[in-house]
Amino acid sequence: MTGANEPEDACARVRERLDVLLDGGLGAVEAARDRGHMEACEPCAAACAGRERWGESLQAALAPGAEALDFAREGLAARLGQAPAPRRGGLTLLRGRAVRRAAAAALVAASALACLALLDGLGASGAPVGELVSSAMRELEAGSLPELSWPPSTAGLWGAR
Amino acid sequence: MESSDGEIIERVLGGEPGCFDLLVDRHGAALLGWLGRRCSGREEARELYQETWVRAYEGLARLEDPGRLRAWLLGIAYNLVGKRLRRAGALGFEPLGEREPHAAEVRDPLERAELGTRIQAAVERLPERQREVFELRALVGLDHAAVAERLGIREDNARANYYQAVRRLRSELGDELT
């Protein structure tokens, strides 16, 4: 029973989605399946060709005619001639989002490195930051760092004026 | 072999501005087809058509993906038409989008055949979303992703509207086109 209905089912399936097929909207496997069917099914192939012609005729009927194009273009060359010629500048060499993102990431990384280098060279006591951290770790291990309290007291900051 | 848009753009940016004409040849009809359906007359369509090309020329170095040139051009045209509509609205003119079918009077100075006029009218009668999608897909030639992006809808929504539009047009116009 299924076997007997199969060709009709296939025809119905192909006809139903001809627009999608012609629009390139079917996946490769399904498109190959429908095209394979049409190789063996003349009525479906004819329907597909007719549908294709219909679409082309519709587009042709809606497209502007040659005279309309000529009219629209009249004087355009002169306007373009007066406009500044486009040139690729330094920044526009960085075309494309991926390239620009990579450049931005590199810039951020370079800035961070520069900040670290600056801090490293300008520690409050004149010592490099790495040295200060090591010193603090040693004091912490020796228990000589002042105990931290929470919430932090501001007395020492704003007090005794 | 025909140069790609990207190759032509490289040549323009590399100091051969005359090559820009190749882009106008290639994409001009699609752009004018869309503008013609948005403008109230051929003079206005021409003005916006030329303004679109001049802006594209001046800003060509900013185009990120040459493969999307047509969508980019259409974006410029969209903005120009939008400005024009807002200005017209501010002056109390009728918004173009709500007019009766007008495309035939705009698109071609030659008298259109009856069939052409009927097709135009059938497209105008499509529901607004279907018409927008149909125009961008079938007339401008954008892919569904670009159509969806332009209209701010999902790609599957764009596809569905396009197929509905095609079916509707076929049922209205029948097979007389072929």
Please, which residues 24-63 of chain B have a Cβ atom closer than 8 Å to chain A? 24, 28-29, 32-33, 36, 42, 45-46, 49-50, 53-54, 57-62
Q: Which residues of A touch B (CB under 8 A)?
A: 19-20, 23, 25, 50, 53-55, 57-59, 61-65, 67-69, 71-77, 79-80, 83-89, 92, 95-97
Could you give the residue ranges of the DSSP H alpha helices within A63-154? 66-73, 76-82, 97-121, 129-142
Choose among B3, B4, B12, B11: nearest CA to B59. Answer: B12
Residue B115 has what pLDDT? 75
User: A25–B65: do the CB atoms touch at under 8 Å?
Assistant: no
User: B119–A67: do the CB atoms touch at under 8 Å?
Assistant: no
Q: Is B145 in CB contact (< 8 Å) with chain A?
A: no
DSSP-assigned letters across all residues of B146-162: HHHHHHTS-HHHHHHHH
Q: What gap in Å lies between CA B28 and CA B22, rounded to an integer?
A: 10
Task: Give residue-wise pLDDT tens across range A58-116.
Answer: 888 888 889 999 999 999 999 999 999 888 764 444 555 565 677 678 788 888 887 67
User: Above 50 in pLDDT, residue B92?
Assistant: no
Residue B108 has what pLDDT? 47
Q: What gap in Å lies between CA B150 and CA B82, rounded to an integer?
A: 13
Indicate the burial class of A32 (C-beta count within 10 angstroms; 0-12, 13-18, 19 or more): exposed
Select the residue from A69, A93, A94, A99 to test the B interface by mutation, using most B Cβ atoms within 10 A.
A69
Task: Give residue-wise pLDDT tens across range B130-172.
Answer: 999 999 999 899 999 999 999 999 999 999 999 999 999 999 9
Contact between A121 and A128 under an 8 Å Cβ cutoff? The reply is yes
**φ, ψ of residue B46 in degrees (nearest 5):** -65, -40
- Its pTM stands at 0.66
Q: Is B92 in CB contact (< 8 Å) with chain A?
A: no
Choose among B125, B62, B150: nearest CA to A100. Answer: B62
Distance from A47 to chain B by nearest Cα, in Å? Answer: 11
Residues in chain B: 178
SS3 B127: coil
Q: A65: which chain B residues are within 8 Å (Cβ-Cβ)?
A: 107-110
Q: A63: which chain B residues are within 8 Å (Cβ-Cβ)?
A: 29, 33, 139
Q: Which amino acid belongs to residue A126?
A: G
User: A62–B163: do the CB atoms touch at under 8 Å?
Assistant: no
Residue B111 has what pLDDT? 44
Indicate the burial class of B73 (C-beta count within 10 angstroms; 0-12, 13-18, 19 or more): buried
